[in-house]
Structure 1
Amino acid sequence: MILRTLEHILAHTSFFLLFSVTLLYWGKLVYIRNKKLSNLGRRSVIITFICITGFLLTRWLYSGHLPLSNLYESSMFLSWSFCLIHTVLIRSQNDWLGTITAPSAMLTHGFATLSVPREMQQSTVLVPALQSHWLMMHVSMMIFSYATLLCGSLLAIALLVITSKNNMDTPIITSGIDSSIWSSSSEKSNERGECDSPNTPFLLSINSREDQLTQQLDHWSYRIISLGSPLLTLGILSGAVWANEAWGYYWNWDPKETWASITWLMFATYMHTRVTKSWRGKEPAIAASLGFFTTWICYLGVNPSGKGLHSHGWLN
């Protein structure tokens, strides 16, 4: 009883913190950059990460198995993964990435606690097929790959949105980026004597902000997806080995297996265009954006049908 009460407190505390951090990061994005607010945001996410870690450990203690066996637990682990990515990646130079990771963690946490039916949130005894050491390897790799791929895809979508609105003034979008990056290019222009009128520095600053922002989005999207793609590969391979142990076959074209292969092909296409053809910017971002939707279909979209071995049977 005590452990269940502690789990309840940790779950609601972490959601409140994520909601507050999301408001903080988006407030910084719309208004001004403030170092104290940035430090507060990073520390709050660290506290949230500790709370969700405590939630998962508490559930592990009283259930007797790794909390990755149903939709509620996997969604909480997905939120934990977003917080981990935030904690690792967010530094003073790329604090603006919090506008992607913090809402992602908040929305997945909110889905788990507010949308998943109460009976599905209860911990149950694992069926024999799930009582395997492969549960930790396969499911954790898949969920963490979803988190990294979704973050990278969201950055690619942001890149497409910005590049599609080149003719619009974007001070709101870029106000959360490190101002020192933007000022450097205008200072160089001043040194070359290119700023002949009072309006020229402002125009150069706007162009510089947009160029630097798209470059950073492209850079970080590639780096994060480069981490997620191998994790997805490991997750699929470990799942195939586990399936062979449990049912005697490696692949059955289960709906989730099919969409996992589609997602893998989508991000393999993205990586191929980046590494082999050295494409940058809009073209590979389109592939990553499509991967965003296939990832969500793979993780959540096939569940309502109640079909396949991986479905949680939401509708039946």
Structure 2
Amino acid sequence: MPELPEVETVRRGLAPAMEGRRIEKLVLNRSDLRFPFPENLVKTVENRTIVALGRRAKYLLIDLDDGMTVIAHLGMSGSWRVEEEDDAHLPGRFHAPRSVNALHDHVIIELSGAPARRIVYNDPRRFGFIKLARKAELEAEPSFAGLGPEPTGNSLDAEFLAARFAGKTQAIKTALLDQRNIAGLGNIYVCEALWRARLSPFRSAGHLVTPTGRPREGLKTLVPAIRAVIAEAIEAGGSTLRDHRKTDGTLGYFQHSFSVYDRTGAPCAHADCNGTVARAVQSGRSTFYCPACQKG
């Protein structure tokens, strides 16, 4: 599933193509994705101007000029692409053919202005979804209720996590994947951040908090590691797993910088470690780590 850096990459790719444009026509090629489309979706968005594109956790937010927001989730295989009459090919780093099978083009947004431009949502597995909400009421939307702070924002710090983790016996990796603790953080970047902080993914979250509720050194190290790995992944354009692409059809290339994720059997990349990357399963998900140096 695309994680926060991938969704942020999509947002940055779509924003210049969509912001300030009016939606002339919305075409729905089926009645649903993971969930049925809102009954009033076409009527609500047609002839509205796109004010801004935002993101919350792994959700793309399309703000309209009447105060409504389109909430889009990519699911497992969803992607957006920009199509223009005079720009059918958008070469980029790690270029690969785009998935343009019309059978999977479920949503088409035709925009006003020149050049003629269409924004197409393609989703072979149809695990993505689109919802509507008023922007002023987004935090009350069930998808957002209870979400923790963004890993890129100033509200995430060691003290906040210490308050969340105090007394918790669940593994730190599981706690980090809980969207109520940190919004948008997924399996790839949790593995990478724990490796950078040299923390065992199996250590209990409560172990990183003192009896008085203060963050231990490991937790203080973990927060900047999370920030760094997310920032680097966004800068790199996100990671590509299976069929995820950037909006211009090119591949994200942070996957070439993975230190532990999907590197079972490879030497640990820490210069002072002679360990080997291992794989385990936690809560049904693969965990990649170095048993030699992730002991904190």
* TM-score for the superposition, normalised by structure 1: 0.28
Greater share of helix:
1
Greater share of strand:
2
* TM-score for the superposition, normalised by structure 2: 0.30
Which structure is larger by alpha-carbon Rg, 1 or 2? Answer: 1
